[in-house]
């Protein structure tokens, strides 16, 4: 039955697309059934977002055909696609931070009032329709709130609401869950099930393997710009899927962490945020060669804590000791001077200089160590070092001088990981280090973490992925509502115990 053409709401046939130096899509075909969830899988840079941008009229394909509900479709812009019933949640947040939630949702199709020859925006309707939409989707977001003031996950929820509001017959979701918590993701899945029950087809892109098996009906796998094929999700399992994606038989998830734990490197004593509802009285130690995981639910204030240690947030009391000496850290510059590096959670928002090259984006935090004679930057050495770290992580880029904005989402993140590795920090803090990164590259990042630890570096890893938290950490410290509720080690460090400590005050 799957080969009955009338059964497809969308067919993309023999699509080609190239960029300077890259054949991003090479004869790619995709068949999507109505009322089903179709997962699109592949490593970073495989071509998933490019294929969807061709569908959505953002890129014009070099060749091939797009057939929507049996009719040849030619979209010249996202507006054409939306009018034809295709909506998309982008991998990058694409809202207007200064505007309200309701303005963002109705942007470009605002309801109008007409009084004779005069038209003006119907704010009342915009507000009511947004409120109704939020209610239907069970989202607790005020239509009048300023978009930029919302948390990343709420902004993501607004993007989801916006995509749903078009009442499209195909909704493309390019990594919609990458900044959502587990509960929020379950909520998203309820929305997806509601959509498919109404006959909508959902094309779902995610690097979170377990999600695919929860939600997908069909799974298509891309590798290096080519489509390998489509399988019913019921015929695949995680190992088979990983093997298809990476094209090799390496399904080992974590390297062995066999570093030697040495002397105390970082001591945090009674650290309390200057903000009232943030972390309070947090103490912990970190030793040489150690990987300390920090677990907890959203709202546990893990990011706030590590940002404070890195000098990005104010504290009201408590102290930080580095190598036994009191360290005054009021800015990231102070932190870097004390040998601390932070790979932030919100890499897309704060980390990237889109117009600068891969080399520049990698080197920007370590330029200070490449100055000779006061002014002269050692360009050759900078490029060589930047290249070395990106090669270690297998960043896929046409060249080291390509603008970072032209890299796929996951590859941009690898560049930012390289940036902090290049500062050669003694203490590396990683906030959700593998978010949005494909399975193969995850393993590479874990391997680098293990190697850093073996070389005597100390690592703090904030992670919401239970497997990596337990798989990579010597000890797991858990926060709940800004309080340190416990630290687990050895056989104690189990999923149940982490969850118990993470929900202690709920
Ligand atoms: N605007 C662009 N200019 C130049 N190259 C591009 C552009 N957009 C994408 N590419 C290249 O096309 C290839 C496919 O990228 P794409 O973004 O489709 O990957 P992806 O499968 O979505 O990866 P990820 O999982 O990392 O998001 C990559 O090699 C990327 O560098
Ligand atoms: Mg992508």
- Pairwise CA distance, residues 116 & 433, whole Å: 57
Quick check: 153 pLDDT over 90? no
At residue 369, the 3 state secondary structure works out as: helix
Mean pLDDT estimate for the chain: 89
pLDDT per position as a tens digit, 358-384: 999 999 888 777 766 656 667 888 899
Residue 65 CA, ligand 2 centroid: distance in Å: 21
The residue to which tokens 């399992």 are assigned: 237
Which residue among 47, 174, 395, 402 is best mutated to probe the pocket of ligand 1, counting the most ligand atoms within 8 A of its Cβ? 47
Q: What is residue 479's predicted lDDT score, i.e. its pLDDT?
A: 95
pLDDT per position as a tens digit, 116-137: 777 788 888 899 999 999 998 8
pLDDT per position as a tens digit, 480-506: 999 999 999 999 999 889 988 988 876
Q: What is residue 371's predicted lDDT score, i.e. its pLDDT?
A: 65
Which ranges of 15-94 would DSSP assign to H, the alpha helix? 48-55, 78-83
Smallest CA separation from ligand 1 atom 17, residue:
408
Atom of ligand 1 minimally distant from the CA of 51: 18
Quick check: 409 pLDDT over 90? no
DSSP conformation class of 502: H
pLDDT per position as a tens digit, 391-405: 988 888 999 999 998
Question: 372 and 381 in contact (C-beta within 8 Å)?
Answer: no
Ligand nearest to the Cα of 60, by number: 1
Question: 400 and 383 in contact (C-beta within 8 Å)?
Answer: yes
Residue 19 Cβ inside 6 Å of ligand 1? The answer reads yes
Q: What is residue 228's predicted lDDT score, i.e. its pLDDT?
A: 95
Q: What is residue 346's predicted lDDT score, i.e. its pLDDT?
A: 63
Smallest CA separation from ligand 1 atom 4, residue:
406
Kind of pairing, strands 63-68 and 10-19? antiparallel
- Residue 440: pLDDT band (50, 70, 90) is confident
Q: What is residue 65's predicted lDDT score, i.e. its pLDDT?
A: 96
Instruction: Identify which of 144, 178, 156 has the alpha carbon closest to the alpha carbon of residue 413.
Output: 178
Which ranges of 393-488 would DSSP assign to H, the alpha helix? 409-422, 439-454, 466-472
Q: Cα 345–350–356 angle (5° rounding)?
A: 125
- Residue 448: pLDDT band (50, 70, 90) is confident
DSSP conformation class of 146: B
Which residue among 25, 45, 224 is best mutated to probe the pocket of ligand 1, counting the most ligand atoms within 8 A of its Cβ? 45
Instruction: Identify which of 259, 249, 173 has the alpha carbon closest to the alpha carbon of residue 439.
Output: 249
Question: Mean of the pLDDT values across residues 14-25?
Answer: 91
At residue 325, the 3 state secondary structure works out as: strand
Smallest CA separation from ligand 1 atom 19, residue:
45
Question: 478 and 486 in contact (C-beta within 8 Å)?
Answer: yes
- Domain 5-246 in CATH 3.40.50.300: yes
Lowest mean pLDDT among 251-265, 317-331, 385-399: 251-265
Question: Mean of the pLDDT values across residues 422-430?
Answer: 91
Instruction: Identify which of 347, 386, 346, 344 has the alpha carbon closest to the alpha carbon of residue 366.
Output: 386
Residue 62 CA, ligand 1 centroid: distance in Å: 15
First to last CA, the chain: 49
Smallest CA separation from ligand 1 atom 7, residue:
406
Q: What is residue 74's predicted lDDT score, i.e. its pLDDT?
A: 87
pLDDT per position as a tens digit, 179-202: 777 788 888 999 999 899 999 999
Q: Cα 222–226–227 angle (5° rounding)?
A: 55
Ligand nearest to the Cα of 28, by number: 1
User: Which residues on neighbouring strands pair with residue 170, listed in sequence order?
Assistant: 86, 201
- Residue 249: pLDDT band (50, 70, 90) is low
The CATH number for 262-339+426-506, chosen from 3.40.50.300, 3.40.50.9100, 3.40.50.2300, 1.20.1060.10, is 3.40.50.300
- Residue 476: pLDDT band (50, 70, 90) is very high
Question: What are the two backbone dihedrals, phi and then psi, of residue 257, each rounded to the nearest 5 degrees?
Answer: -100, 100
pLDDT per position as a tens digit, 353-362: 889 999 999 9
Q: What is residue 3's predicted lDDT score, i.e. its pLDDT?
A: 47
Quick check: 1 pLDDT over 50? no
Residue 411 Cβ inside 6 Å of ligand 1? The answer reads yes
Residue 25 Cβ inside 6 Å of ligand 1? The answer reads no
Q: Count H helices, E strands: the chain?
A: 16, 24
Which residue among 30, 49, 172, 396 is best mutated to probe the pocket of ligand 1, counting the most ligand atoms within 8 A of its Cβ? 49
Fold agreement (5-246, 262-339+426-506): yes
Q: What is residue 374's predicted lDDT score, i.e. its pLDDT?
A: 59
Question: Mean of the pLDDT values across residues 100-129?
Answer: 85
Residue 425 Cβ inside 6 Å of ligand 1? The answer reads no
Ligand nearest to the Cα of 90, by number: 2
Which residue among 12, 24, 59, 413 is best mutated to probe the pocket of ligand 1, counting the most ligand atoms within 8 A of its Cβ? 24
Residue 47 Cβ inside 6 Å of ligand 1? The answer reads yes
Residue 408 Cβ inside 6 Å of ligand 1? The answer reads yes
Q: What pTM does this model have?
A: 0.73
- Using CA atoms, how far residue 161 sits from 55, 62, 436, in Å, is 20, 32, 21
Quick check: 325 pLDDT over 70? yes
- Of 9 and 253, more confident: 9
Instruction: Identify which of 437, 501, 506 has the alpha carbon closest to the alpha carbon of residue 295.
Output: 501
Residue 45 Cβ inside 6 Å of ligand 1? The answer reads yes
- Pairwise CA distance, residues 335 & 303, whole Å: 16
The residue to which tokens 């989801």 are assigned: 160
Instruction: Identify which of 250, 155, 201 has the alpha carbon closest to the alpha carbon of residue 40.
Output: 201
Residue 397 CA, ligand 1 centroid: distance in Å: 9
Residue 50 Cβ inside 6 Å of ligand 1? The answer reads yes
Residue 496 CA, ligand 2 centroid: distance in Å: 33
Kind of pairing, strands 10-19 and 170-174? unpaired
Residue 482 Cβ inside 6 Å of ligand 1? The answer reads no
- Pairwise CA distance, residues 150 & 194, whole Å: 25
- Name 205's Cβ contacts closer than 8 Å, sequence gap at least 6: 39, 40, 41, 48, 49, 52, 91, 172, 173, 174, 175
Residue 201 CA, ligand 1 centroid: distance in Å: 24
- Name 334's Cβ contacts closer than 8 Å, sequence gap at least 6: 311, 327, 328
- Residue 93: pLDDT band (50, 70, 90) is confident
Question: 310 and 282 in contact (C-beta within 8 Å)?
Answer: no
Q: What is residue 133's predicted lDDT score, i.e. its pLDDT?
A: 92
Residue 413 CA, ligand 2 centroid: distance in Å: 11
Question: 205 and 50 in contact (C-beta within 8 Å)?
Answer: no
User: Which residues on neighbouring strands pair with residue 118, listed in sequence order?
Assistant: 115
Quick check: 465 pLDDT over 90? no
- Using CA atoms, how far residue 108 sits from 56, 79, 97, 131, 279, in Å, is 16, 9, 16, 18, 41
pLDDT per position as a tens digit, 40-60: 999 888 999 999 999 999 999
- Domain-wise residue ranges, the chain: 5-246, 262-339+426-506, 352-424
Question: 428 and 240 in contact (C-beta within 8 Å)?
Answer: no
Residue 326 CA, ligand 1 centroid: distance in Å: 45
Question: 336 and 367 in contact (C-beta within 8 Å)?
Answer: no
- Pairwise CA distance, residues 61 & 47, whole Å: 12
pLDDT per position as a tens digit, 326-359: 999 999 889 988 999 998 866 555 578 889 999 9
Q: What is residue 2's predicted lDDT score, i.e. its pLDDT?
A: 45
Residue 42 Cβ inside 6 Å of ligand 1? The answer reads yes
Kind of pairing, strands 376-377 and 475-480? unpaired
Quick check: 17 pLDDT over 80? yes
At residue 215, the 3 state secondary structure works out as: helix
User: Which residues on neighbouring strands pair with residue 219, listed in sequence order?
Assistant: 39, 231
Which residue among 408, 412, 413 is best mutated to probe the pocket of ligand 1, counting the most ligand atoms within 8 A of its Cβ? 408
């Amino acid at each position: 039955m799957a080969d009955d053409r009338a059964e497809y709401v969308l067919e993309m046939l023999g699509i080609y697309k190239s960029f300077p130096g890259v054949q991003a899509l090479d004869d790619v075909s995709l068949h999507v059934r109505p009322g089903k969830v179709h997962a699109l899988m592949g490593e970073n840079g495989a071509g998933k977002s490019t294929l969807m941008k061709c569908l959505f009229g953002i890129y014009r394909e070099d060749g091939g055909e797009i057939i929507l509900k049996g009719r040849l479709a030619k979209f010249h812009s996202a507006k054409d696609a939306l009018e034809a019933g295709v909506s998309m949640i982008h991998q990058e947040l694409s809202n207007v931070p200064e505007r309200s939630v309701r303005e963002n949702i109705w942007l470009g199709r605002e309801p109008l009032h007409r009084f004779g020859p005069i038209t003006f925006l119907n704010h009342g309707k915009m507000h009511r329709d947004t409120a109704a939409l939020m209610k239907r989707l069970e989202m607790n977001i005020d239509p009048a709130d300023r978009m930029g003031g919302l948390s990343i996950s709420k902004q993501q929820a607004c993007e989801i609401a916006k995509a749903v509001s078009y009442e499209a017959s195909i909704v493309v979701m390019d990594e919609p869950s990458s900044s959502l918590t587990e509960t929020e993701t379950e909520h998203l899945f309820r929305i997806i099930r509601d959509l498919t029950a109404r006959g909508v087809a959902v094309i779902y892109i995610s690097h979170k393997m377990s999600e695919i098996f929860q939600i997908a009906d069909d799974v298509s796998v891309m590798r290096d710009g080519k489509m390998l094929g489509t399988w019913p999700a019921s015929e695949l399992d995680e190992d088979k899927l990983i093997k298809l994606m990476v094209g090799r038989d390496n399904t080992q998830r974590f390297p062995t962490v066999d570093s030697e734990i040495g002397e105390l490197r970082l001591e945090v004593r009674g650290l309390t945020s200057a903000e009232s509802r943030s972390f309070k009285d947090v103490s912990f130690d970190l030793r040489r060669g150690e990987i300390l995981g920090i677990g907890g639910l959203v709202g546990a204030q893990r990011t706030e804590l590590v940002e404070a240690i890195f000098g990005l947030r104010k504290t009201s009391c408590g102290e930080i000791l580095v190598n036994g000496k009191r360290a005054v850290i009021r800015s990231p510059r102070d932190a870097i001077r004390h040998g601390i590096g932070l790979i932030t959670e919100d890499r897309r928002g704060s980390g990237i200089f889109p117009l600068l090259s891969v080399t520049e984006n990698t080197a920007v935090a370590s330029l200070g160590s490449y100055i000779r004679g006061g002014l002269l930057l050692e360009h050759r050495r900078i490029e060589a070092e930047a290249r070395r770290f990106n090669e270690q992580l297998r960043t896929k880029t046409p060249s080291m001088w390509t603008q970072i904005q032209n890299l796929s989402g996951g590859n941009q993140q690898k560049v930012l990981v390289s940036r902090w590795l290049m500062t050669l920090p003694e203490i590396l803090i990683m906030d959700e280090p593998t978010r949005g990164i494909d399975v193969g590259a995850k393993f590479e990042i874990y391997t680098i973490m293990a190697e850093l630890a073996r070389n005597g570096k100390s690592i703090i890893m904030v992670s919401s992925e239970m497997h990596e938290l337990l798989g990579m950490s010597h000890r797991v410290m858990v926060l709940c509502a800004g309080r340190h509720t416990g630290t687990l080690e050895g056989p104690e460090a189990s999923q149940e115990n982490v969850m118990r400590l993470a929900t202690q005050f709920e």
